[in-house]
Amino acid sequence: MTWEPVIGLEVHVQLATATKAFAPVAVAFGAPPNTLTDPTVLGLPGALPSFNAAALAAAVRLGVATDSTIRARSRFARKHYFYPDLPKGYQISQHDEPLCEHGHVDVWHDGARHRVALARIHLEEDAGKLTHGSASSRVDLNRAGVALVEVVTAPVLPSAELAFAYMKALHRLVRALGVCEGDLEKGHLRCDANVSLRRAGTDALGTRVELKNINSFRFVRAAIEHEIARQARILDGGGQVERETRLWDGTAGLSQSMRGKEEVADYRYLPDPDLPPLVVDDATLAAARAALPELPADRLARFVDAYHLAFDDADLLTSESALGDFLDAAVAAATPAHARPLAAWIVNELLRVLAGAPITASPVTPAALAELIVAIEDGTISGKLGKDVFAKMIASGDGARAIIARDGLTQISDPAAVRALAEPILAANARQVAAYRSGKDNLLGFFVGQLMKASGGRVNPQLATEIVKALLAGDA
Ligand code: ADP
Ligand code: MG
């Protein structure tokens, strides 16, 4: 029996707001425990929430970027559960009137564009953090009340691979929009995965299992693959998959049953009486749409279609806005025909020099790189000397043309000049010339190497080979 996986992801995205969702308390990572609280965050009686407009703006921006339907009036709801990380006894979330529905995120995977349907994007607050020791557990409420959106896909992802690609695309998107800092080490994106199997070729959804605690990006794929295999074993053995929530253990590479799935009724959702409806008017939506940057998936398509980049280069150069901005600025300083070599130099040379530092710290500006690539492409210097010039640009901050002129690196492309350099080399190596002529073809490289050396690498390499060959054949 072949089983077809169906995956839906619920991703919590921490919004990049200076203060918490419902209280004017700073958001910061690594502050001493329980220093970022106030009566609202602590859920003290009488404290009232008031919603952070910056969180709404960020959620609306993500909503329009995903082409979602955005409710003109949406509501906050209380989701009740009792756990020490939630001092109020309920989480403020959205239930039957979420801010956004029916959007999509475009995901490039293996050279193809996939449109992943979203069920909803809703606003909610984060809970605190528990640390369990052997004798006691500790609660830190610094994270409690931080503004999140939950981005929920429809049950449409067909593989662990695509689920992982979706996570990367969402990560890119929220950073490009500036709605989330996207620091995975700080848990800015956290994913729960819902997995079910159905008979290949059928439509009805199978019973799903929710995997929680996939606390690292890398684990998304492994956790889902493991769950697919686990369910296939159960179904192949004639059993039934139980609807449950399982905890993924990334270190052990396996999951454990955590609880039978709660029903919606268990949460006793209620409209939150302390918060007015969220209102988003048409002018706000229009302004949010007008302020959208080019989305990463569209930019990747443009880099492939208009710049003719290899998919992997386009993918890498759209992984961060600043990288794509660098390429666009460099192309603007050269021509679109230079986009491919510019991309190759950014990927292979500049990023290597930067060694993990952000491109915004590049010692070479986009215009300076463009000047170098134009000089290589128009034959002023050879590609090999280009690397030396590039190193000098980085060391000195000087422009490419200035270095080429100062160091006399201009490529020698005049056949007569090349012959004048080559002839004495043949004369000085009569024994090798005789050997070549008696059939030792591989000595060609020796002569070309001598010629390049004599010219300081300046001879056009193709021309060097041609002329040496001709001289050795006695044709020149
Ligand atoms: P809940 O409110 O119980 O979390 P939702 O209907 O909001 O349930 O769905 C949560 C997630 O589970 C969504 O991402 C959805 O796509 C996914 N999902 C729902 N049913 C299935 C299924 N049968 N198989 C896989 N994923 C599913
Ligand atoms: Mg859910």
- The answer, yes or no, to whether residue 436 has pLDDT greater than 80, is yes
- pLDDT tens sequence across 22-67: 999 999 999 999 999 999 999 999 999 999 999 999 999 999 999 9
Distance from Cα 200 to the centre of ligand 2, integer Å: 26
Q: Give per-residue pLDDT as tens, 86-127.
A: 999 999 999 999 999 999 999 999 889 999 999 999 999 999
* Residue 206 Cα: closest atom of ligand 1: 23
Q: Residue 238 — left, alpha, or beta (φ > 0 → left; ψ -120 to 50 → alpha)?
A: left
Report the sign of the C-alpha dihedral through residues 451, 453, 456, 460, in that order. Answer: positive
Supply the pTM of this predicted model. 0.88
Burial class (CB in 10 A: 0-12, 13-18, 19+), 388: middle
Distance 272 CA to ligand 1 centre (A): 24
Please state the atom number of ligand 1 nearest to the C-alpha of residue 152.
Answer: 14
Q: What residue type is 24 in one-letter code?
A: P
Q: How confident is the model at residue 261 (pLDDT cuts 50, 70, 90)?
A: low
Q: Which two tokens stand for residue 61?
A: 């921006």
Q: C-alpha 102: how far from its chain's center?
A: 23
User: What are phi and psi for residue 14, nearest 5 degrees?
Assistant: -80, 120
- Nearest Cα residue to 280 out of 455, 57, 460, 119: 57
Q: How far is CA 211 from CA 160, 250, 403, in A?
A: 13, 12, 58
Whether residue 72 has pLDDT greater than 60: yes
Q: Which of 208, 220, 235, 269 has most ligand 1 atoms within 8 Å of its beta carbon, as the pocket-test mutant? A: 208
Is residue 205 within 8 A of residue 196, CB to CB? The reply is: yes
162: amino acid identity, one letter:
L
Residues in contact with ligand 1 (CB, 6 Å cut-off): 6-10, 119, 152-155, 194-196, 205-206, 208
pLDDT digits (tens, 9 = 90+) for 330-351: 999 999 999 999 999 999 999 9
Quick: pLDDT tens for 287-321: 999 999 999 999 999 999 999 999 999 999 999 99
Instruction: Point out the ligand 1 atom lying closest to the alpha carbon of residue 210.
Output: 12
- For ligand 1, atom 4, which residue shows the shortest CA distance? 10
CA of 116 to the centre of ligand 1 (A): 14
Ligand having the closest approach to the CA of 228: 1
Identify the residue whose C-alpha is closest to ligand 1 atom 20. 155
Residues near 134 by beta carbon (within 8 Å), at least 6 away in sequence: none
Distance (Å) from CA 163 to ligand 1 centroid: 14
Beta sheet of 77-80, edge-to-edge order: 90-93, 77-80, 270-271
Coil, strand or helix at 166: helix
